[in-house]
């Protein structure tokens, strides 16, 4: 694509508002900026389209939203009249322009004769997955950039099972888009007109009630919560986003009496004014919650991201300080707790299964298998976990009790096919209360798990490479690693090398080549002589290469020393 030509096309399009024209005019002498906005369209990555909210083809704006929706509408329409009638559920998060973009998507669907159910205001992402399933919709659209910084927005697409579209399906939309002109090829219908004609319907409290009935049915142990409810306290922050209402509601239904919300962050605001990044993976954002927790003598903090699909926790250690519990650790804690709770309540299904991704700690497998639960790996993204859950359950091979990613996402129950911070927050709180009743904090519980299952340690390094140069650098880094694979990392031999792009496995000792089951994702994996696993992949949601170190040691000091040692190799990777 000739980026200058594309820029000119946009600059002269009558579809642009005066403000958008002015924005494009202002970069006319900046070819680099023009190239980065017009070199090509956004790609469907880990979680659909995601980009910064500027005027441009490689950005998120109303034109890109309408265009993507026209492509998606064609894919839905290909299902025939029945598919159009089943229609699409549409949701949005708290970001600037999310509501406007969601309504724009609804207008395009309606103009294509596709029935729309749109939420009347922001909702947690898992509720969209739920709504698609509950109302038997053909598809779903969610306008959200999840945990990204405020400049971003995104467009997630779902299919009838309530899961995000798998890559081959997303490719069909991308192919369709090549044939649709972004300005002239999109059908539109006025929102109010479409409401009047019955093509657009609104979802609100009635859908919340149905969703919440499913969430609260997941409670395992009200009795233990009730025992400690007079003294057990927690602090909660939704980071200005969608968790503000239904997470507290779930906790109240659980029987929690002392929920202390962070007042400044209970305010919905797409500028996320109190944090640099609304990502619960970044502990800095918890500073207000920590202050409040210390003042109120609380040991447990819960924080959900802006679209409330991810949740992060912090616990007080023996020095009285709060420390973040990583997604890997939180998942291990919850998996172990759920296994115990299901066994205690006699609700453990036959052939139980836990799912995790290839970049999630092996400790989860250890916990699962030590307790008679099978564990399977998938690629990053809940669409893959949903696919695996559906396949295992449809074939009768297993019943998934828990699915999780190291990146703070947890999927529970059968009513959603995406990560769900509403249900996870409630069950994490139930778990914290249960340990409280045993005289333990989650900090104690985690240490007990390490003692029992081994000292696993993980660290994800993010090599941030923004802009067009960044894209090139990232591609070069992956290429270099393929062309000159490391034979040792920080002085330790690589014994097996795997490339998930084509599923190839190379035994570095014998040179033998074989294949693995998983393939089709740009991920490299190195297995080292000491049992450490290092994985490298470009993020599908942010401009960065992620390097995951999964290691183990005889004790905490030894496993942390490994993280440091291998971290030095990672640091040298960045161009």
Ligand X SMILES: O=P(O)(O)OC[C@H]1O[C@H](O)[C@H](O)[C@@H](O)[C@@H]1O
Residue numbers at the binding site for ligand X (CB under 6 A): 46-47, 146, 380-382, 405, 407, 409, 539-542, 546
User: Considering 146, 403, 425, 539, which one is annotated as catalytic?
Assistant: 146
Residues 6+ apart with CB under 8 A from 28: 11, 34
Of 47 and 353, the one with the shorter C-beta distance to ligand X is: 47
Least separation in angstroms between CB 534 and ligand X: 16
Rounded to a whole number of angstroms, the distance between the first and last alpha carbons of the chain is 27
DSSP letter for 367, please: H
Of 58 and 546, the one with the shorter C-beta distance to ligand X is: 546
C-alpha R_g of the chain: 24
Least separation in angstroms between CB 359 and ligand X: 8
Residues 6+ apart with CB under 8 A from 554: 455
Residues 6+ apart with CB under 8 A from 381: 46, 47, 164, 357, 540
Answer whether 455's CB lies under 8 Å from 558's CB.
yes
Question: Is there a catalytic annotation at residue 559?
Answer: no
Q: How far is CA 7 from CA 3, 13, 142, 169, 283, in A?
A: 6, 10, 28, 29, 40
Of 47 and 422, the one with the shorter C-beta distance to ligand X is: 47
Residues 6+ apart with CB under 8 A from 359: 380, 405, 406, 460, 523, 535, 537, 546, 548, 550
Token code pair at residue 104? 């724009």
What is the distance between the alpha carbons of residues 114 and 100, in angstroms, rounded to a whole number? 19
Least separation in angstroms between CB 481 and ligand X: 17
Of 124 and 381, the one with the shorter C-beta distance to ligand X is: 381
Least separation in angstroms between CB 309 and ligand X: 7
Token code pair at residue 10? 């946009």
Q: How far is CA 215 from CA 9, 247, 254, 416, in A?
A: 48, 10, 10, 10
Least separation in angstroms between CB 572 and ligand X: 22
Token code pair at residue 251? 């906790």
Burial 235-253 (b: 16+ CB within 10 A, else e): bbbbbbbbbbbbbbbbbee
Of 316 and 546, the one with the shorter C-beta distance to ligand X is: 546
CB-based burial of residue 320 (10 Å sphere; 0-12 exposed, 13-18 middle, 19+ buried)?
A: exposed
Name the β-bridge partners of 310. Answer: 409
Of 10 and 500, the one with the shorter C-beta distance to ligand X is: 500
Of 131 and 545, the one with the shorter C-beta distance to ligand X is: 545
Least separation in angstroms between CB 352 and ligand X: 22
Of 261 and 381, the one with the shorter C-beta distance to ligand X is: 381
Least separation in angstroms between CB 235 and ligand X: 24
Judged by DSSP in three states, 556 sits in: helix
Judged by DSSP in three states, 2 sits in: coil
Least separation in angstroms between CB 226 and ligand X: 34
Answer whether 108's CB lies under 8 Å from 70's CB.
yes
**Catalytic center residues:** 146
């Amino acid at each position: 694509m000739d980026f200058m030509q594309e820029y000119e096309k946009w600059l002269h399009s009558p579809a642009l508002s005066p403000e958008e024209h002015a924005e494009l005019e202002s970069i006319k002498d900046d070819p680099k900026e023009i190239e980065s906005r017009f070199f090509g369209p956004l790609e469907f990555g880990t979680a659909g389209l995601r980009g910064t909210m500027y005027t441009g083809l490689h950005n998120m704006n109303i034109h890109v939203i309408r265009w993507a929706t026209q492509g998606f509408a064609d894919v839905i329409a290909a299902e025939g009249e029945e598919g159009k009638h089943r229609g699409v559920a549409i949701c949005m998060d708290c970001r600037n322009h999310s509501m406007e973009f969601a309504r724009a998507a609804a207008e395009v669907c309606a103009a294509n004769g596709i029935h729309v159910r749109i939420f009347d205001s922001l909702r947690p992402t898992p509720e969209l997955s739920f709504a698609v399933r509950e109302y038997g919709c053909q598809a779903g659209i969610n306008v959200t950039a999840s945990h990204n910084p405020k400049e971003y927005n995104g467009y997630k697409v779902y299919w009838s099972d309530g899961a995000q579209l798998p890559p081959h399906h997303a490719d069909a939309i991308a192919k369709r888009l090549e044939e649709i002109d972004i300005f002239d090829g999109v059908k539109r219908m006025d929102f109010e007109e479409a409401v009047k004609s019955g093509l657009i319907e609104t979802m609100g409290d009635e859908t919340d009630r149905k969703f919440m009935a499913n969430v609260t049915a997941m409670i395992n142990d009200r009795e233990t919560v009730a025992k400690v409810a007079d003294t057990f306290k927690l602090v909660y922050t939704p980071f200005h986003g969608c968790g503000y209402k239904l997470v507290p509601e779930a906790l109240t239904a659980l029987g929690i009496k002392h929920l202390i919300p962070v007042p400044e962050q209970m305010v919905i605001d797409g500028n996320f004014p109190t944090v640099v990044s609304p990502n619960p993976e970044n502990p800095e954002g918890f500073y207000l919650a920590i202050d409040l927790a210390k003042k109120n003598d609380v040991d447990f903090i819960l924080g959900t991201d802006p679209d409330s699909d991810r949740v992060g926790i912090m616990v007080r250690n023996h020095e009285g300080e709060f420390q973040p519990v990583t997604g890997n650790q939180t998942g291990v804690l919850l998996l172990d707790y759920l296994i115990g709770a299901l066994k205690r309540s006699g609700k453990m299904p036959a052939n139980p299964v836990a799912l995790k991704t290839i970049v999630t700690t092996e400790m989860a497998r250890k916990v699962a298998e030590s307790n008679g639960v099978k564990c399977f790996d998938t690629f990053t993204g809940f669409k893959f976990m949903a696919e695996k859950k559906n396949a295992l359950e449809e074939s009768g091979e297993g019943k998934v009790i828990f699915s999780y990613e190291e990146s703070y996402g947890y999927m529970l129950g059968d009513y959603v096919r995406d990560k769900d911070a509403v249900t996870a927050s409630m069950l994490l709180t139930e778990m914290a209360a249960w340990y409280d009743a045993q005289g333990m904090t989650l900090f104690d519980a985690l240490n007990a798990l390490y003692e029992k299952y081994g000292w696993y340690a993980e660290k994800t390094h993010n090599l941030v490479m923004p802009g067009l140069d960044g894209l090139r650098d990232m591609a070069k880094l992956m290429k270099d690693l393929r062309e000159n694979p490391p034979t040792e990392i920080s002085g330790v031999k690589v014994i097996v090398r795997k490339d998930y792009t084509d599923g190839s496995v190379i035994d570095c000792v014998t040179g033998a080549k074989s294949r693995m089951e998983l393939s089709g994702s740009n991920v490299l994996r190195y297995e080292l002589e000491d049992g450490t696993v290092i994985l490298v992949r470009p993020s599908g949601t942010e401009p960065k290469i992620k390097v995951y170190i999964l290691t183990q040691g005889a004790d905490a000091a030894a496993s942390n020393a490994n993280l440091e040692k291998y971290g030095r190799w990672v640091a040298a990777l960045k161009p």
